[in-house]
Structure formats: C-alpha cells, structure tokens
Amino acid sequence: MLSNSARQKNEMEMTLNPQEFESLAERFKILSEPTRLQILSAICQGEYNVNDICRRTGLRQANVSKHLHLLKRAGVVACRRVGVCRYYRVIDRDLMNLCAKARREKFY
C-alpha cells in the first residue's frame, strides 16, 4: 500500500498539463471517425496503396484518400511513393497496440 506522499507523487506524475491534454484530445479526435479506424485496421499489418485499401475496406478511393491525408497530417501514418503509387503504413506503435487491444477486448 502506498503512503499518502507516495500516492500524491504518483498522482502528480499522472497529471497532464493543458498542452498535453490538448494534444491527447487531438489524437482521440483523429480516431473518432469510424472510417479512419476501418482504414487503420486494414493497414495495421503492413504497407498498402490506396487501391489495396479500397479493396480491403470496400470504401471509395476519394474517401480513402481524404482520410489517409488526415491520418498522415496527424502523424498516425506515413507514406512512400513508388512511381505513381503511394504506399501507406501505420507509424504510431502505441495506436497499433491500442487497436490490437480493442480487437482482443471487443469494447463494443
């Protein structure tokens, strides 16, 4: 059992400053769109181009491209260009772990 001072220190370490809360809220906001979660689920195991993602999700190309742009801007995915194709992959490992946990736990 933790002493009061140890508990207070532990609570202080867990408290975020306002900028950290803002950053966290932005991160959750980018994940609040079901289509983006579907895209992330489709690419979390590798690197795929937009056509691959469309086939894996059943979504239209324009919709996938729009959401990939937002995910890239948020630092969740990265892309590399090969000729005229862009290949996307998830680069946020914490997010990948969270998605894997959600699949295992079935929070819904």
Check whether domain 31-75+83-105 has CATH 3.20.20.140, yes or no: no
Domain segments of the chain: what residues? 31-75+83-105
What pLDDT is attached to residue 48?
98
Which one, of 102, 39, 21, lies nearest residue 76 by Cα? Answer: 39
CA–CA dist 108, 103 (Å, integer): 10
What pLDDT is attached to residue 7?
58
- Contact yes or no for 77/71 (Cβ under 8 A): yes
What pLDDT is attached to residue 14?
67
What pLDDT is attached to residue 58?
98
Q: What is the mean pLDDT of each run of 10 residues along the chain (108 residues)?
A: 58 75 87 93 92 97 98 95 96 80 67
